[in-house]
Every structure is written in C-alpha cells, then in structure tokens.
Amino acid sequence: MPYENITVEKRDRMAILTIDRPKVMNALSVETVNELRRAFLELKTDDDVAGVIVTGAGEKAFVAGADISELHDLDPEGAKHYSERGQHVLSIIENMPKPVIAAVNGFALGGGCELAMACHIRIAAETARFGQPEVNLGVIPGYGGTQRLARLVGKGRAMELCLTGKMISAAEAQSIGLVNKVVPPAELMAEAEKMLGAILGKGPRAVALAIEAINRGTEMDLAAGLNLEANLFGFCASGEDWKEGTKAFMEKRKPEFKGN
C-alpha cells in the first residue's frame, strides 16, 4: 500500500524515510504515526535495507510537533490511548536492530523532538531548533519526551526544557548531548549518509547487538548491564562474522561480513 504522509527511498542499502507534510510543518497526525509504524516494520525485515535515515520534507521543519487539531476533543481515556500509540511506534524505532539516524533539518518540537530522540543518532542542521513546548498547551510530552530526554541530557536539563517549553538551537542541543553532530544545512543529508555508510561497513550482527546492549543496559543497574553485555558478547562468538572479523584483522584485510 502506498504512503500518503511519508516517502521511503531506498539506495545503497539505505532507506531515506521522509515525513512529507510540509504544508503543516510535517506534523505527526495519527495517520502519519500509523504509517511510520508500518514503514519501520517493513524496513526491519527488508533484506535490501541495512539502515535508515529519518528526515522532514522542506527546509523549515523536521517535525514541528503533533497535529494539534486531533488533540482538542480527546477525553482522558482517548488521550492515554493517543500517548500509548505514539510511544509504541517510537519504541519500534528505538529498538530497530538496524541503525536509525535522524537528519534534523529544521524545527524538531514536541513529537518531532521525541521522534528524533527515538532514533539511535541525531545529526542536525545549524538552523535546526529543538524543544518540548507541550506545557504551552496545558499538556505534557506524551511520546516519550519526559523519559528519553532525561536519559539523554540528564534530569536537570530535561526539567528545564519540559517545564519552560523553550526552544534551543542545534548548537545548544549538541552541547547538552541531545545532538551528536551539527553541520551546515546543505551538508546535512550527505553527512547522515556518510555516517550511516560507515556503520554499514561494520558487522551487522554486532551493530544490532550493540544497539540492544545499550538500549536494555541503560535501564538496568551496572551489574545487570555488565551481565547482559557478557551474554551478548558470547552470542557474537556463535556467528561467522566473529570469525571473519578477527581473521581479517590478523590478515590485514577488509572483512566481508555476512550478518550472521
């Protein structure tokens, strides 16, 4: 089935997923969130795709937030379901076994900031702006903003951003650890593809297990996290990529990973 609110372009083992609603600053309507879910579930099992870049259409916005017109008439039960649905979809993205990079080309506010945080790595144009402005509407972040933001930048910074609702620049976002790298707008997609390309040259199984170890381990105490890491490290040794990678290193050649 074709998508109405997003586009997916595949090339060089990469998928470029674009939120394509520029007339409304790429706002995350319910249908857009549903399409994101379908797209990521399809990409997860697509053998021709090894990694994903997420960006927004146009030059103004990555995603400027939720579609506010859909929020006004929600009752408490409907609002809870709305939040849980968005959290579910962003958790699918966060736990993708394939690397996901957010190429933030403009405003990443509310649900847009939450979408970016669900991606494994964030690269931002110098003109990008970040924020969780939900309190300006009398609500709180509902797609994981209060949780992922605190884990990425610390409790104090998360409190400041969520309670004031202020926007911050890409440079400030990088300084507090919300963004990995900031580049001129014209270089954004090239830089995202360059970084994803570098990751795709590594062992696919190792990349997937590293994502799992970091995602799950940060929710555990240190001892449990170290145990998880040791188990996944041992699991690496059961595959051919382990043997190929170590053999290639000793033979001073580039490894030819098969993803197993």
pLDDT in tens, 126-139: 999 999 999 999 99
Q: Report the alpha-carbon distance of residue 50 to residue 52 in Å, rounded.
A: 7
131 with 113: CB under 8 angstroms? yes
Domains in the chain, ordered, with CATH?
Answer: 6-200 (3.90.226.10), 204-250 (1.10.12.10)
The residues that bridge with 17 in the sheet, in sequence order, are: 8, 54
Indicate the pTM of the whole model.
0.95
Does the pLDDT of residue 179 top 80, yes or no? Answer: yes
Q: pLDDT digits over 206-219, tens only?
A: 999 999 999 999 99
First to last CA, the chain: 31
For the stretch 141-175, pLDDT in tens is 999 999 999 999 999 999 999 999 999 999 999 99
Confidence of residue 71 (pLDDT cuts 50, 70, 90): confident
Measured CA to CA, the distance from residue 33 to residue 4 in angstroms comes to 11
pLDDT of residue 69: 86
- Given a contact cutoff of 8 angstroms between Cβ atoms, the answer to whether 83 and 114 are in contact is no
Residue 109 near residue 65 (C-beta atoms within 8 A): yes
Angle at 216 between CA 213 and CA 218, to 5 degrees: 95
Between the alpha carbon of residue 46 and those of residues 16, 120, 150, 215, 239, the distances in Å are: 14, 19, 33, 22, 21
Angle at CA 180, nearest 5°, toward 106 and 18? 40
Mean pLDDT of 227-248: 93
Whether pLDDT at 260 is above 90: no
Q: What is the DSSP string of 33-46?
A: HHHHHHHHHHHHT-
Place of tokens 């996901």: 100
Q: What sign has the CA pseudo-torsion 7, 72, 112, 90?
A: negative
Strand partners, 131: 109, 167
Q: Percent of the chain having pLDDT more than 90? A: 92
Here the tokens at position 192 are: 């995202």
Residue matched to tokens 């998880």: 228
Q: What is the mean pLDDT of residues 11-33?
A: 96
pLDDT at 142: 96
Tens-place pLDDT, residues 77-109? 999 999 999 999 999 999 999 999 999 999 999
Q: Is 47 helix (H, G, I), strand (E, B) or coil?
A: coil
Report the 10 Å Cβ neighbour count for 68: 12
Task: Compute the distance between CA of residue 83 and CA of residue 10 in angstroms, rounded to an integer.
Answer: 30
Enumerate the active-site residues: 114, 134
Q: Dihedral of CA 23/28/30/32: which sign?
A: positive
Dihedrals phi, psi of 52, to nearest 5 degrees: -130, 140
